[in-house]
Amino acid sequence: MKRTVGHLADGREIIYFDADPDRTRTAVDTRDLPPQAPASEIRRDPLSGDWVAIAAHRQARTYKPPADQCPLCPSRPGHPTEIPESDYDVVVFGNQFPSFAQHIPGFDGTVDGIEQVPAGPARGQCEVVCFTSDHDSSFAQLSQDKARLVVDAWADRTAELAGLPGVEQVFCFENRGEEIGVTLHHPHGQIYAYPFVTPRTAKELATAERYLRERGTPVQGDVLAAERAGGQRVLVESEHWTAYVPAAARWPVEVHVVPHRQVPDIPALTGPERDDFAATYLDVLRRLDRLYDRRLPYVAGWHQAPVHTGRDAAWLRMEVFSVQRTADRLKYLAGSESGMAVWINDATPEQIAARLR
């Protein structure tokens, strides 16, 4: 893999990841872009203790452009895009409309003097990861070598973002499909570097640490062993990874892809583990696309350990889920899910696993 760093017209960093070690990247961003001036802040909900990001500047972000105006395709004569080069393998660059950013004016205080609602700058980072230059493709259609290149890009960015001042957690994810809320259809994902540990991770780590104290073994490891032994919900089992539908799945389609070895994050994966993940994950995504004979809308995200806490109890996993509950019906988050975070699934995990197998 060759890694080439450049900058866009407004100063944002762009990084090309190429399979060809001899590939050179010299194209210049010719657009006239104003300097970025994100002004996001975070406010803590006094009732839940959760941090909420306020990023009003994102209202102006790109919304469902036609394919010939896609900002994630390579640049062509007369149409410069976010990627100055005329082609690419995998590319990562700073989000033009970030929820979290490094250069936000510093302030620490409260909202309207309410001491129970502290606020501060939303310092972190938001990046875009383009998986392929082919606008009409998808992650599931990548070759295994190209998928492995994406894994290496995720690992590179996780390691670098984790070293930024104030970053507490790095989340690599992909949203696909209008049903999920996607506004750019080019195959891409995002990476968020948060200035706090996310609520879900904090809750899972508390559970994992309590289990480890009481049992002396990691909960994810015990669940993985039980799922592999039973096999009823297992979809794919390889040398280093197992993909299964969790027994308490929240979503109508939900798959966890878990390494057989406890590792905290993507950078900790070995070369053979990364190769094997690429093959296993592509198998899972292709099964998902055959479930209803269409490209399944989904969210796919890496659950990694926080940067500074919980790393002994954490166990890396990739989680993929979809709101598509039948071929022509969606799962809407109604009162119980949205209001009380009590999930009700309309299909059994065993039924979904059998269909995906």
pLDDT given for residue 184 in this prediction: 94
What's CA 334's distance to the chain center, in Å?
Answer: 24
Instruction: Kindly indicate the confidence band of residue 62, based on its pLDDT and cuts at 50, 70 and 90.
Output: confident
CB 315 within 8 A of CB 258: yes
pLDDT given for residue 107 in this prediction: 81
103 is in an annotated binding site: no
Nearest CA among 122, 135, 94, 162 for reference residue 302:
162
If you search the block for the tokens 């109604």, which residue do you land on? Answer: 334
Instruction: Kindly indicate the confidence band of residue 88, based on its pLDDT and cuts at 50, 70 and 90.
Output: very high
Residue 174: phi and psi, rounded to 5, are -130, 130
CATH for 2-197 is 3.30.428.10
Q: Which burial class, exposed, middle or buried, applies to 289 when counting CB atoms under 10 A from its CB (0-12, 13-18, 19+)? A: middle
Question: What does the alpha-carbon distance between residue 14 and residue 74 come to, in Å, rounded to a whole number?
Answer: 13
Question: What does the alpha-carbon distance between residue 345 and residue 100 come to, in Å, rounded to a whole number?
Answer: 33
Instruction: Kindly indicate the confidence band of residue 327, based on its pLDDT and cuts at 50, 70 and 90.
Output: very high
Strand partners, 329: 326
Asked whether the predicted pLDDT for residue 61 surpasses 80, the reply is no
| Residue 175, token pair as written in the block | 């949203």
Asked whether the predicted pLDDT for residue 105 surpasses 80, the reply is yes
130 is in an annotated binding site: no
Question: What does the alpha-carbon distance between residue 137 and residue 116 come to, in Å, rounded to a whole number?
Answer: 48
**Position 274: which residue type?**
R
- Residue 194 to residues 131, 158, 161, 188, 338: CA-CA distances in angstroms? 22, 12, 10, 20, 23
The predicted model scores a pTM of: 0.97
What's CA 10's distance to the chain center, in Å?
Answer: 25
- Mean pLDDT over 29-37 rounds to 92
Sign of the C-alpha dihedral, residues 281, 286, 291, 296?
A: positive
DSSP letters spanning 249-295:
--SSEEEEEEESS--SSGGG--HHHHHHHHHHHHHHHHHHHHHTTS-
**Position 66: which residue type?**
P
| Residue 292, token pair as written in the block | 């209803």
Asked whether the predicted pLDDT for residue 60 surpasses 80, the reply is no
pLDDT given for residue 169 in this prediction: 98
172-203 residue pLDDT tens: 999 999 999 999 999 999 999 999 999 999 99
Question: Which ranges in the chain are annotated with CATH 3.30.428.10?
Answer: 2-197, 200-356
Asked whether the predicted pLDDT for residue 331 surpasses 90, the reply is yes
pLDDT given for residue 174 in this prediction: 98
Asked whether the predicted pLDDT for residue 111 surpasses 90, the reply is yes
**Position 5: which residue type?**
V
CB 259 within 8 A of CB 225: no
What angle do the packed helices 199-215 and 219-230 form, to 10 degrees?
80
- Mean pLDDT over 293-317 rounds to 97
Nearest CA among 307, 93, 48 for reference residue 191:
93
Please tell me which residue, 226 or 62, carries the higher pLDDT value. Answer: 226
| Residue 274, token pair as written in the block | 């990364």
What's the mean per-residue pLDDT of the chain?
96
Helix H or strand E encompassing 130: strand 125-130
**Percent of the chain whose pLDDT exceeds 90:** 93
Secondary structure (3-state) at 214: helix
pLDDT given for residue 59 in this prediction: 72
The set of catalytic residues is 188
73 is in an annotated binding site: yes
Question: What does the alpha-carbon distance between residue 90 and residue 92 come to, in Å, rounded to a whole number?
Answer: 7
| Residue 160, token pair as written in the block | 């670098």
pLDDT given for residue 86 in this prediction: 97
**What's 200-356's CATH class?**
alpha beta
186 is in an annotated binding site: yes
Q: Are strands 114-121 and 241-244 parallel, antiparallel or unpaired?
A: unpaired
